[in-house]
Structure 1
């Protein structure tokens, strides 16, 4: 039977397994198997007389690299054998990508591991850096590694963890393709997506093709974001909708800019957590400055990644001012031959570039002034642009 292997990976402490486990709760497991690679590593280690735990795995992997490589390779071989014997359609394999710690690094998988696994898709599961920092503080084992001191947990470290993990995946997938093993796509997936969207992505991609939601993201009143969220929910009834706001590091940078503008001599930046609005983090100004350049680049690369894997983008431009980000995303979609649907409800003409890119949908309309009409057009024309 046709099997699909999906590698779920990413940097450490980004909530990958917790998010996936929660999303899969209540889903009929007759259609899928879920393989947590670390469980297999512990099993193989135990058989070889090596006790591997969450607490000692980093030190063991760095100090006994050859033994750890053998154990990891055997874990992947066992997973591959289980996949081959299975009569289920979807096989979800979860493991970290690459993790540098101290003077060494821990590799979640090698090229030979991926050649054996032959993943059809790779999904890099990501969380925003402040939530990762918070997760470390709330995890006694990890907090101990940082000396039980929040000041030791630098944003620069966390963004480099992400950088290393993503680059490791890209490099190996590139090598896989040279070996003739085709991975349909690598997708950077933020865990602020509703679990239902993750399930659509995994199990219902053919029925609900990937659509990227593009919208101006900063400097708007609260009512604007409610409108965006309502549109997202309506669009998600028909498509698997990828939201750039599901991984939001930009508010850290924006808050830094606001406080430095008010007080150029400030040393500590106080930031309320985006999700609960109550917990206040105090971060070193210098640390944010060092992390900002990497965060800005990662934001652009991630959004372009989401555009590139999508069959269409839905532009919800409920703002008269031109958004450089939205225009860039429309241009990227045009470059990759994705359908572009533009909602722009104002009498004032938009930018000629926005108007030009907004014509790149099968109905050849310049723009839609009614969001429900645009969704109907996307549904009616789905067969056209999903085959393009």
Structure 2
């Protein structure tokens, strides 16, 4: 299998993929990863072209285009051999850069035309974490990217990659880098395990015991499914009121409704207690009206009609829910260490 994986700078993509490579090897799967950015510097050195990490994005676009094309030519030339020698090949690079307040393409049709990915990914992270990482790098420190700019750049990265997947008629996933490494492993090597989105009240929960229940529930759920957990990329609160920047709120809605729910086959909502949650209601409705299976674990037999209407199955306890998975669906837990 060949995967094309993108992300913006400072997202933690490379660190995630290196851990994934080790994890896969532990489970006797051989993975080869092409880091296109590093390969461009190697190609430049071979060609006698001087570029530095700090100033590479100041280079003439035609020079970068030529170097990138040479890199993809090399990847393409080794494709048949790579497929025979590895269980998985990942090509890791950027679709866009945001430099000097300009979105600049980091791809070209000739390079993309040389490869035939069977899956597309975009890795994402909390904008605050990306901001901290970029500010620690000499290359990006002077750019002084705001939280809003990072969120918009990350949005562009995901949407462009999703469009490639649509044109190729292949699956696309947004993967938060704080998800378990097993998330990507199951997507690739255990396709029979369904990807699900887990929804839960967060904003109005105050009791630590309820958050602990959510954590415990998701950990157990992940034994049966490939779970996408919005907590892994949850951003801080946005300022409210007229004239305030609502980018954080808007991006949160886009991420959960139009990325994570869209890529999942089921949405499973879990309430550790009776709580008000406009977010969960909207997520249930989005999943329900886009033909997803929607299951709800709710601690009261009679909840709001606006909660119970948008679900296909209702469970009144965790025990009832997990008993259904084991006894009715005959699912067996898979523990990947």
TM-score w.r.t. length of structure 2: 0.87
Q: What is aligned with 2:334?
A: none
Structure 1, residues 362-383: CA drift from partner, whole Å, max 9, x if none?
Answer: xxx4x11221331342454389
C-alpha contact (below 8 Å) 2:120/2:162 kept by paired residues: no
Task: Map 1:371-382 to 2 at 5 A.
Answer: 371-378=318-325, 380-381=328-329
Give the distance between the partners of 2:29 and 2:272, measured in 1 at CA: 43
Structure 1, residues 32-90: CA drift from partner, whole Å, max 9, x if none?
Answer: 21111113212322222113342232111xxx111211211221222222222221232
**One of 317, 338, 355 as aligned partner of 2:271:** 317
C-alpha contact (below 8 Å) 1:120/1:183 kept by paired residues: yes
Q: What is aligned with 1:276?
A: none
What is the SS of the residue equivalent to 1:75?
helix
What is the SS of the residue equivalent to 1:158?
helix
Tell me how many residue pairs correspond in the alignment: 324
CA RMSD of aligned residues (A): 2.4
Give the distance between the partners of 2:170 and 2:139, measured in 1 at CA: 35
C-alpha contact (below 8 Å) 2:9/2:134 kept by paired residues: no
Task: Tell me by how many angstroms 1:30 deviates.
Answer: 4.5
Q: What is aligned with 1:243?
A: 229
Give the distance between the partners of 1:252 and 1:169, measured in 2 at CA: 28
C-alpha contact (below 8 Å) 1:45/1:71 kept by paired residues: yes
**One of 182, 197, 201 as aligned partner of 1:216:** 201
Q: Identify if the C-alpha distance between structure 1 residues 140 and 47 changes in structure 2 by more than 3 Å, giving closer, same or farther.
A: closer
Give the distance between the partners of 2:15 and 2:52, measured in 1 at CA: 18
Task: Tell me by how many angstroms 1:18 deviates.
Answer: 1.5
Give yes or no for the alignment of 1:306 onto 2:282.
no
C-alpha contact (below 8 Å) 1:126/1:191 kept by paired residues: yes
Give the distance between the partners of 1:372 and 1:116, measured in 2 at CA: 51
Q: What is aligned with 2:218?
A: 232
**One of 128, 131, 136 as aligned partner of 1:130:** 128
Q: Identify if the C-alpha distance between structure 1 residues 382 and 78 changes in structure 2 by more than 3 Å, giving closer, same or farther.
A: farther
Q: Identify if the C-alpha distance between structure 1 residues 343 and 139 changes in structure 2 by more than 3 Å, giving closer, same or farther.
A: same
Task: Map 1:211-360 to 2 at 5 A.
Answer: 211-220=196-205, 221-249=207-235, 251-253=236-238, 256=239, 289-290=244-245, 293-304=246-257, 305-347=259-301, 349-358=302-311, 360=312
C-alpha contact (below 8 Å) 1:99/1:164 kept by paired residues: no
C-alpha contact (below 8 Å) 2:199/2:269 kept by paired residues: yes
Q: What is aligned with 2:335?
A: none
C-alpha contact (below 8 Å) 1:110/1:172 kept by paired residues: no
Task: Map 1:1-388 to 2 at 5 A.
Answer: 4-28=1-25, 30-60=29-59, 64-86=60-82, 87=84, 88-102=86-100, 104-143=102-141, 145-146=142-143, 152-174=144-166, 177=167, 181-185=168-172, 187-206=173-192, 208-220=193-205, 221-249=207-235, 251-253=236-238, 256=239, 289-290=244-245, 293-304=246-257, 305-347=259-301, 349-358=302-311, 360=312, 365=313, 367-378=314-325, 380-381=328-329
C-alpha contact (below 8 Å) 2:6/2:121 kept by paired residues: yes
Give the distance between the partners of 2:174 and 2:198, measured in 1 at CA: 14
C-alpha contact (below 8 Å) 2:35/2:92 kept by paired residues: yes
C-alpha contact (below 8 Å) 1:42/1:52 kept by paired residues: yes
C-alpha contact (below 8 Å) 1:23/1:195 kept by paired residues: yes
TM-score w.r.t. length of structure 1: 0.76
